[in-house]
Amino acid sequence: MTQTKHAVEFEECGDSNNRPLKISKIEYDDDGEEEEEEMNNQQRKIQRYLMAIEYIGTRFCGSQKQLTDRTVVGVLEEAFCKFVGQPVSVICSSRTDAGVHALSNVCHVDIERISKRKPGEVLQPHEPAVVKRAVNHFLQKQHGDLMVIDVRCVPSDFHARYKAQERTYFYRLLSGPEPLSTLEKDRAWHVQEELNLPAMQEACRVLVGHHDFSSFRATGCQAKSPIRTLDELSVVEVIQSPYFPSLMDRERQMKVADDLHGCHSNSEAVDTSNEDVGFGKRRFHRCLVVTARARAFLYHQVVERILNAKNVAAASPMAPACGLYLGKVKYDLPSL
């Protein structure tokens, strides 16, 4: 058995400031075009890669590509272009609005590896580890707020958006009168009033299940139906940390938080406003995390009265985007 090592070749694309990249048009609703594209990919030895990405959404005007504004897909496509030397189209599993963060969003991209030393010669596809390392090399030159965290090869008909089975979101709230830490700026919603955790938990129970979420649709919502099934909606108090943890860290911290707060009544906040925490140390806020898990989202918060109204005018103003995190996209990944 022989092993073939693929060299990583970088090439700068044209000046993106002078003209936008030419991106092939994607029609999500045209099954015929998708099938034709898949056949062409197979004939041309194009490899489809599935990649998980994380990003801080503060400096992004959402995930979808726009002509003039900085977006997640736009920055990713630019990094891939510099890597492979030709324009590519990145398709995201989940669209996030401006200011929304992601612990793990998922995208797919098709790449045909063409030799730069022998134009026209098609080479074997890059290994996933090479793609991850090379794309991150260019992403780190773009504010360092977007990173590829995993890459794998998938069949040409595996679609990051349509193959997603469910999505999990988290929303962070910091409660308390103390000024918000600089390290938490744009990473959570600071509510100066003390929040009633039992009341929030009760409101969550009302919303779990199959409902008409018409009251919470955005004006430009592209979903065909407001009917959604919410599999999980919960709110818990966790230890405040300037770094929002990964899913594994979150589970561990939730257990620690339960141990720390188990001796207190859930209906009463612990008053620490008069405690002396020592010089140079700040008092912590109460940190609450709302978890929502469903097959699709309309991205809005709800209560029973608003839910039953089925009218967007009945909904209160939305919570700010800075506290929202796309946490996980679930797939039944194929075995290769």
Query: Which residues lie below 8 Å from residue 148, measured CB to CB, with a gap of 6+?
Result: 51, 52, 53, 131, 132, 135, 136, 139
**Residues 88 and 109: beta-carbon distance below 8 Å:** yes
Annotated catalytic residue 97: yes
- State the DSSP string of 160-183: TTTT--EEEEEEEEEESSSPPPGG
**Residues 162 and 269: beta-carbon distance below 8 Å:** no
Active-site pick, 31, 69, 97, 259: 97
| Residue position matching structure tokens 């496509």 | 77
Query: Which residues lie below 8 Å from residue 229, measured CB to CB, with a gap of 6+?
Result: 209, 210, 294, 295
In this structure, the strands spanning 101-111 and 324-330 are parallel
| Residue position matching structure tokens 């990249």 | 21
Q: 10 Å Cβ neighbour count for 4?
A: 7
**Residues 124 and 3: beta-carbon distance below 8 Å:** no
Enzyme catalytic residues: 97
